[in-house]
Structure 1
Amino acid sequence: MTADKNSGYRKNFSLIITFLILISVFFVLSLFLAYNFSKKFIENEFVSEKVNVLEASITPYNEFFQNKLPEVSYYNGYLDSATTSRFVDTLLLQYPFVSRVVFYDTEVSTIPVRDGLNIGHFTMGPKYVYQFGSLVPMDSVKLFAKNDPSTAMRGDEFNTLGIKLINYIENLDTARAPTADELFSNFSVVRSNKITYLNIPRFEDLKVYKQMMQRKLSTSPVYQQDMLTFYLDPSKIKIINANPKLYQNIRIEPLTYDPLDTSSQFVTTEITLPGPFSDYKLYFISAQSFVDKAIFRYFLPIAIVLMVFYGVLVLVGFLIYRNLNINQKLYKLQYDFVNNLTHEFKTPVSVIKIAGNNIRSAAALTEREQKMYGRILDEEADKLNGLMNKLLAFTQIENKAIQLNQEKVNIVDFIESTIESHQLKHPDFHFTYEVSGFKNFTTDPVLLGSLFDNLAENAYKYSSPDQKYLHVSARHIKGKIVFRFTDKGIGIPAPEINNIFKKFYRVQNQYNQNGSVGLGLAFCKELITLMKGEISVKSKVNKGTEFKIILPYNE
């Protein structure tokens, strides 16, 4: 923290931590709200989805009521027991909830009847009454015969629908044809667990029926009518569970059914069956654990979306932290660069200024003093010039402003001249070299010289006084020139290997406290890239370092 303050850089990590805490709180709160929403939604679905189950389960009944019952009218009153038996057999197979059918083979005439309805000169009574069904005993198929005194007419359903028919005929508007809905509703009776239906006569016949109630007709017409009572068993309704992931068990119970177990371990709801089944209800029951699974299934996709969103925000926070960290390092590198560059410039400038002041203040200079001051001024000027040239060259390389000057180089002469120049500067610097596989190759000698000079300077600078040593090897291998620069210096720690080619980066050691800008190896890397080559390094601390450079071979 002190280093940050001293360098003038502030990371504001507290803002990142606050951001992460806020989004974490928001994430947890979102999960909580999402779960409550999922729970409420599933609870509402548990109550509302029962309508879909009801509709799916009573679809066969609706089809029977709307399509099968009207088929009775197609026979125009001329059904007989055999035809009705076949009709009922088909019906029982198709609609299992129909348990039995009572067939009233009925006549409408002007002749009074003993078992039936007599209104004015309108009479309606059964000739025969038959019962059909899979569980009906054979001896009870015929329940009543008009001419058989041994049979008795039990006509509750017959009388109910007959009275409804008489009321309708009495109020019939003969000037207007009734609608299909009017006829259907007046020629059927829906009661608990049964439906009674009378075939619908023609409108002209209904007019005659009304006349028969009002006066005696000159003729004595007889009309055939078929009345059927369908007895229904609600327990035979096939329950269609339209949502098996929500409803664990569905059954049909009487309206008065009251479960004994009403613990919180179960969730229940119910809905009344329609029409003739109105004394019964669909009863839905699921274990709480079963409903919890449905809640989790609904909640899981929402939670995944929230987690992805949270992950994106955390990633954003991480990237901000990473950028701040990188910016801090860059700032520190630049800060160190400015400090070191200032020091690099300040030292020779100070020496030049001191030498200049001495020359100016001296009354007379001996020949020895002139040579000394001349050498000092020359060396310090060379340092300044070299530093400026390196910075300029680095900038030109980065901006692709340098063009390669291809010249043929004798590698042995080139290496020996490099050795000589460095040994003049550093007499204690020991050089060895070897060349194999080639003598000459085409390259830019200036850039190659800069490369050799930088690596040689590093080998000398980062070695202990008794280990100032560098071995250079040059080999021609498979169309490439491979240079190896091996020293016996202090080495590079493994964690630093990946950073040494970065601009302004300096490995912290006893030889690098001052006097390094952090451009040497970065400059080498840019040079080699420009020359379409590669550079790598191997190093062991206190053992030495080897730089390997691969350049294309051009004769």
Structure 2
Amino acid sequence: MALDKKSSYRKNFSLGVTFIVLISILFILSLFLAFNYSKKSIENDFVSEKVNVLEQSIKPYNDFFQNKMPEISYYNGYLDSSTAAKFVDTVILKYPFISKVTFYDTEVKNVPVKDGINANHLGIGPKAIFQFGKGVKPDSVKLYSEDDTRSFNVGSDFNAIAIKLATFVEDLDTASVPTQEELFTNFSIVNSNENKITYLNIPRREDLRVYKEMIRRKLNPAPVYQQDVLVFNLDAHKIKIINTRPLLYQTIRIEPLTYDPIDTSDENINTEIALPGAFSDFKLYLISSKSYIKKEIFIYFMPIALVLLLVYGVLLLVAFLIYRNLNINSKMFKLQYDFVNNLTHEFKTPVSVIKIAGNNIKSAATLSQKEQQLYGKILDEEADKLNGLMNKLLAFTQIENKAIKLNQEEVNIVDFIESTIESHTLKHPDFKITYEVLGFKTFITDPVLLGSLFDNLAENAYKYSKPEQKKLHISAKLIKGVLVFRFVDKGIGIASSELNNIFKKFFRIQNEYNQMGSVGLGLAFCKELVNFMEGEISVKSKVGSGTEFKIVLPYNN
């Protein structure tokens, strides 16, 4: 049976080790895959997140282009130098990337203009030109006036938007209504080469019809309409870069579209994305060192690693619990097997002796008085053994299930101990038992249960002692309101590793004294008795020197 237990233990241990090795390999592999996934994910983010950086950084430009610039049309061409200056101040304050604004106070006439564009009978020219911006000198605000006698070139920006207006008017279908998108497209010019936006306030439909008539013929009287043209000079380097992923992008710069870095070190990774609209000749250039990116990779990786570690820990706990349960089950099987074996042996021995004695009585023709007494004594002793074993099993089950009641009787402790000593010395003449009582004479308890407790401990003291050391000292003392009983023997002792198990059912210490059969219920029965009597039992022992059992019971008198 010991070989089977050892084999079973090795099998369980091997299965446990195999399981732990497998989940450890899976854990390490999972960590490796998770790190690679994190690295790949961050590298993909490095390429894809630049779109968010661009969107956030270019948002003010989009707001200016789509919302602020069209406000010029609200003035219907009636901006003057003063109102234009206020409008430009608010624009430059809110949008720092606008460095300078040129304002053309424009007239659309039915007569040719000196400076501007003439299309048949339609003339488009400025009556005054103003320049605004942080870097514009006070004496340079007004660039041109139609009253000036000197020659002045109004510039390609004005001419381009004037030509666009004349072309649009000439091709205009007065029966249809142009969309806002068409009007916006035809009355603005985005020049990415020079980073300029030229905008002409959108004329009303009625004005456009008149302009068309003005191209075809000379009207009487010749009308004059006011238009406003503003040219916005932009500086791409004044765009405020919004780094939406500061742990991902170490440096973000605005560079020309043709920029190609000389340093192509493997220590850095970079990506780029072109700016839109008037800034389309520029790009966002994003660069980070690989060591900088590693921080973001680990930030991404750590939660995954913690989850994997938690799963790994749970699996280890499951493995431990399974292994522990397998060992407990193995031990329980061993204990139950030994219990059945030993119980069978305990029953078999007296039954065999009774059977032999019965056969001898049956086969004998006559029996002398001495033989009758001998056989009677044998039958009586073996019957007592069977009865005692059955009573112990029955009492253990009843006490464990609380099926009996605790009797309350007054017990004289000296008489009780002397009765126990007499009983055991008659049974074992070589058993020397001494005792002492201190502090009390009588107390209330169940004498039957207390007798069973004393008998079991006395029997153990005799059984587990060497022939020359079969001694037991019993002390009974009243200490601080409780009864303390000590049973001190000079037996073989109990190893410290076994002390936690000796009160368990079916547990037997493996030694030469247990080879002839023991069901492993004695001390477990004692503990159940003490618990039932609302007390405590403990043990101290030293191998080769002896054992001391200490029992503490409530004092009732």
Determine the structure 2 residue equivalent to 1:470.
472
Q: Which moved more, 1:235-244 or 1:171-180?
A: 171-180
Amino acid at match of 2:152: A
Residue 104 of structure 2 aligns to a residue whose secondary structure is strand
Amino acid at match of 1:213: I
Residue 135 of structure 2 aligns to a residue whose secondary structure is coil
2:174 maps to 1:190: no
Distance 2:380 2:92 in 1: 121
**What is the Cα deviation at residue 158 of structure 1?**
0.6
| 1:253/1:283 contact within 8 Å kept | yes
**What is the Cα deviation at residue 86 of structure 1?**
2.8
Q: Which moved more, 1:468-477 or 1:442-451?
A: 468-477
Distance 2:82 2:206 in 1: 29
Amino acid at match of 1:200: I
Distance 2:535 2:432 in 1: 27
Determine the structure 2 residue equivalent to 1:493.
495
**What is the Cα deviation at residue 151 of structure 1?**
4.6
**What is the Cα deviation at residue 326 of structure 1?**
1.3
Identity of aligned residues (%): 71
Residue 195 of structure 1 aligns to a residue whose secondary structure is strand
Distance 1:313 1:74 in 2: 71
Amino acid at match of 1:129: I
Distance 1:217 1:423 in 2: 150
Distance 2:185 2:397 in 1: 99
Amino acid at match of 2:233: Y
Amino acid at match of 1:170: E
Backbone CA RMSD of aligned residues: 2.0
Amino acid at match of 1:40: K
Residue 105 of structure 1 aligns to a residue whose secondary structure is strand
**What is the Cα deviation at residue 166 of structure 1?**
1.5
2:318 maps to 1:285: no
Determine the structure 1 residue equivalent to 2:439.
437
| 2:164/2:186 contact within 8 Å kept | yes
**What is the Cα deviation at residue 334 of structure 1?**
1.8
| 1:249/1:284 contact within 8 Å kept | yes
Determine the structure 2 residue equivalent to 1:112.
112
Amino acid at match of 2:361: I
**Which consecutive aligned stretches of 4+ in structure 1 deviate over 6 angstroms post-superposition?**
5-10
**What is the Cα deviation at residue 108 of structure 1?**
0.9
CA distances 1:71-126 after superposition (whole Å, capped 9, x unpaired): 22232222222332232233222211111111111111112112111112211101
Determine the structure 2 residue equivalent to 1:519.
521
Distance 2:109 2:8 in 1: 116
Distance 1:18 1:473 in 2: 54
Amino acid at match of 1:536: S
2:69 maps to 1:53: no
Determine the structure 1 residue equivalent to 2:342.
340
Residue 68 of structure 1 aligns to a residue whose secondary structure is helix
| 2:431/2:462 contact within 8 Å kept | yes
Pairing partner for 1:240 from 239, 242, 266: 242
CA distances 1:38-58 after superposition (whole Å, capped 9, x unpaired): 122111111111111001101
Q: Which moved more, 1:12-21 or 1:393-402?
A: 12-21
| 2:273/2:284 contact within 8 Å kept | yes
CA distances 1:148-191 after superposition (whole Å, capped 9, x unpaired): 13351242111111111112222323334433333222211111
Determine the structure 1 residue equivalent to 2:370.
368
Distance 2:14 2:512 in 1: 35
**What is the Cα deviation at residue 293 of structure 1?**
2.0
Determine the structure 1 residue equivalent to 2:68.
68
Residue 499 of structure 2 aligns to a residue whose secondary structure is helix
Amino acid at match of 1:205: D
Distance 2:480 2:434 in 1: 24
2:320 maps to 1:299: no
Q: Which moved more, 1:178-187 or 1:92-101?
A: 178-187
Figure out how many residues of one structure are paired with residues of the other and give that number: 555
1:122-521 equivalences in 2 (<5 Å): 122-192=122-192, 193-521=195-523
Distance 1:410 1:170 in 2: 134
Distance 1:7 1:282 in 2: 71
| 1:253/1:281 contact within 8 Å kept | yes
Distance 1:208 1:156 in 2: 26
**What is the Cα deviation at residue 442 of structure 1?**
2.1
Distance 2:14 2:465 in 1: 43
CA distances 1:395-436 after superposition (whole Å, capped 9, x unpaired): 222222222222222222222211111111112222222223
| 2:116/2:154 contact within 8 Å kept | no
**What is the Cα deviation at residue 519 of structure 1?**
0.7
Residue 471 of structure 1 aligns to a residue whose secondary structure is strand
- In structure 2, relative to structure 1, the CA distance for the partners of 1:136 and 1:10 (3 Å cut) is closer
Residue 264 of structure 1 aligns to a residue whose secondary structure is coil
Residue 518 of structure 2 aligns to a residue whose secondary structure is coil
- In structure 2, relative to structure 1, the CA distance for the partners of 1:141 and 1:208 (3 Å cut) is same
Amino acid at match of 1:404: L
- In structure 2, relative to structure 1, the CA distance for the partners of 1:35 and 1:434 (3 Å cut) is same
CA distances 1:283-313 after superposition (whole Å, capped 9, x unpaired): 1111111222212211111111112112211
| 2:346/2:517 contact within 8 Å kept | yes
- In structure 2, relative to structure 1, the CA distance for the partners of 1:382 and 1:11 (3 Å cut) is farther
Q: Which moved more, 1:289-298 or 1:450-459?
A: 289-298
Amino acid at match of 1:360: K
Q: Which moved more, 1:60-69 or 1:426-435?
A: 426-435
Amino acid at match of 1:497: L
* TM-score normalised by structure 1 residue count: 0.95
Residue 136 of structure 2 aligns to a residue whose secondary structure is coil
Distance 1:6 1:348 in 2: 33
| 1:130/1:144 contact within 8 Å kept | yes
| 2:121/2:216 contact within 8 Å kept | yes
**What is the Cα deviation at residue 2 of structure 1?**
6.6
| 1:430/1:470 contact within 8 Å kept | yes
Distance 2:143 2:6 in 1: 113
Amino acid at match of 1:238: K
| 1:11/1:324 contact within 8 Å kept | no
**What is the Cα deviation at residue 12 of structure 1?**
4.8
**What is the Cα deviation at residue 490 of structure 1?**
1.7
Q: Which moved more, 1:229-238 or 1:513-522?
A: 513-522
Distance 2:95 2:274 in 1: 20
Amino acid at match of 2:555: Y
